[in-house]
Structures are given as C-alpha cells and as structure tokens.
Amino acid sequence: MQSFLLFFIIVLISFPILPEIKSKKEKGNTSNSDQNKKKKKRRVTGKQYLTDMEEYADLLESYLEQLESEMRELEEISKAKKSKKNKPKK
C-alpha cells in the first residue's frame, strides 16, 4: 500500500514536468537548424576586409586617444592632491 502511494505521488509530481522536457527538446532541435543557417558565412572580398580593418583601426585609435586624455586628467588630479598634501601648515 505504501509503495503504491509512493509511486502515485512520484507520477503526480513528474507528470507536469514531462511536457516541459519535451518542449525543451523540440526547441533544441530548431535552434540547431538556426545555428546551421548562421554558420553559412558571407564571403568577404579583399576590399571589404580592408575597409573593415581600417574602420576597426580608427575605432582603436579613438579609444586610445580617449584613454590617453583620461590618463592626463588622472595625472593632473594626483598632482593636485600631492601639492595639497605637501603645503606646509601655518
């Protein structure tokens, strides 16, 4: 009797979970087909590659300039803090 109740409880608990597992498997199959479609890459010509690399280089240069300006600002702030600390008290 106890084993039957235990079995019945397990079935009741797992019953709502089963459809979710099936739907996840179906979603997984469709996502694989989507991934296969994404794997087909477009062909990149030499000119397109060059322009892409030039754009990337421009972005890197602007980022470097931004970092350099931030470094200068931080150096100025640290110099100002040091000069405040080094002033003798009257």
User: In the chain, where are the structural domains located?
Assistant: 58-83
Q: pLDDT band for position 36 (50/70/90)?
A: low
Q: pTM of the entire structure?
A: 0.43
State the average pLDDT over residues 32-38.
60
Which pLDDT does position 86 carry in this prediction? 76
* Degrees, nearest 5: CA angle 6-10-15: 150
Amino acid at 24: K
Quick: pLDDT tens for 42-66.
677 888 888 889 999 999 999 999 9
Is the model's pLDDT at 15 over the cut of 90? Answer: no
Q: What are the start-end ranges of the E strands in the chain?
A: none
CA distances from 43 to 38, 39, 50, 64 (A): 13, 12, 14, 31
